[in-house]
Amino acid sequence: MSVPELLPVLSEAEIQKRVTDLGRQISADYRGEPLVLIGVLKGAFVFMADLVRRLEIPVEIEFIRTSSYGKEDTSSGEVRLLHELGTDIRDKHALIVEDILDTGLTIEKLISCLAAYHPRSIRVCACIDKTERRINDLRADYACFPVDEGFLVGYGLDYGEKYRYLPAIYAIKNLTSEDPK
């Protein structure tokens, strides 16, 4: 079995600086408005925790889990919510917080699931906006970093549940089909 290699892509300092800027921008855009941040578990937990502490406005926090029936490094597009939303988002602005936008299928389905709760608006905030495999015209309304390609780990992102705890983001190389996902 090969040893996966981690190549640094974004340092902890770069991430923290960008999250601070994004927190300011989101605060300015939603000031005076009712806002619920909806983090997509598990991947968004680190980004969400950093982002809310950079906001200068009051917000409500919610988390959702989705199920996808694809392989673990791609998404099948058959996404559904694993539980009901615990916070009432009717007439409030919903901001979905994702670790990474890849094909865009997860977010497309999530937006249609959340629309059933009648929020005032739905926008998307992704730590990474990876455009190479995008198959719809969805873009993140807020994104920390555009990235062209590669499978990324760290800062909440995992490969087979490993690496989520790392404070920086890496591209993982040397994966073979024998490596556990």
Q: What are the residues binding ligand XMP (CB under 6 A)?
A: 43, 75, 98-106, 151-153, 157-158
Mask of contacts with Mg ion, 24-63, x by CB under 5 A?
Answer: -------------------x--------------------
User: Is 73 among the catalytic positions?
Assistant: no
The minimum distance between CB 64 and Mg ion, in angstroms, equals 11
Place of tokens 């890849």: 102
Phi–psi pair at 44, nearest 5 degrees: -85, 0
The 3-class secondary structure across 49-105, one letter per residue, is HHHHCCCCCCCEEEEEEEEECCCCCCCCCCEEECCCCCCCCCCCEEEEEEEEECCCH
Q: Which of 102, 129, 141, 179 is catalytic?
A: 102
Q: Which does 144 bind (CB under 5 to 8 A by kind): ligand XMP, Mg ion, none?
A: none
The minimum distance between CB 112 and ligand XMP, in angstroms, equals 13
Phi–psi pair at 45, nearest 5 degrees: -65, -35
Interacting residues toward Mg ion by CB under 5 A: 43, 99
| Residues with a known catalytic role | 102
